[in-house]
Amino acid sequence: MTERVRADHGSTVGGLSIQMSRLLLVCLVVATAATGALIITILVGLPPAHPPPGPNGLPPPPPDLRPLATFPVVTGLFVLSWLSVVVVFSRDQILQRIRQVQREPEVAVQRVDELFAELRSQLAADRERELRMLEERIAELTTEYGEQRETDGYLSGLRVATTEDPAGKVHAIRRERRPGG
């Protein structure tokens, strides 16, 4: 009973089980702090858009850009902290699924066997359909080749028959054997 209670301490939102591990909580706190630091850096560190005029009507002095040097560092921390939240959340989800499969191995094996059987039947149906299409295409090509050869033979015969000296162009397949030679 304690194992089941310990395993079910996450909440489920739309089929997605959110399991709050210590590492995820730490990453969320760091990411929130990095977000706050980025907001403060943007508000405090950016020079004003319209600086006050200088003394005696002179142009204003150039803005101090030293606070902007921290901006890339704080932005990098912001991005890395939220990236770590995503990675740790994904890791927790994967570990939870692995634990589920380990608790119910018969169900998982049965489901995998069902998926494999379905895949095999789909592959067999695809193979049969492709074989049928291949047989039809081979029959079509054979018929087309036979008709082409027949047409070529007919036209060749007509050409030989319409020439002036058809006997000179026609060659016997078998040569006549001469006696004694």
Question: Does 78 lie in the same domain as 17?
Answer: yes
Helices 71-103, 105-162: axis angle to 10 degrees equals 100
Question: Does 143 lie in the same domain as 77?
Answer: no
pLDDT in tens, 39-88: 998 888 777 667 777 777 777 777 777 777 888 999 999 999 999 999 99
Residues (pLDDT < 70) of the chain are: 1-17, 48-49, 164-181
Residue 46 identity:
L
Question: Does 82 lie in the same domain as 125?
Answer: no
**pLDDT for 162:** 76
**In residues, how long is the chain?**
181
Name every residue whose Cβ is closer than 8 Å to that of residue 11 and which is 6 or more positions away in sequence.
Answer: 17, 18
**pLDDT for 113:** 87
Question: Does 89 lie in the same domain as 5?
Answer: yes
**pLDDT for 42:** 86
**pLDDT for 178:** 65
Question: Does 137 lie in the same domain as 150?
Answer: yes
Neighbours of 89 (CB within 10 A): 19
In terms of residue numbers, what domain contains 110? 105-157
Beta bridge partners of 13: 16
| Token code pair at residue 75 | 């932005």
Please give the span between the terminal C-alpha atoms of the chain, in angstroms, as a whole number. Answer: 108
Q: Which of 79, 67, 70 is nearest to 30 (CA)?
A: 79
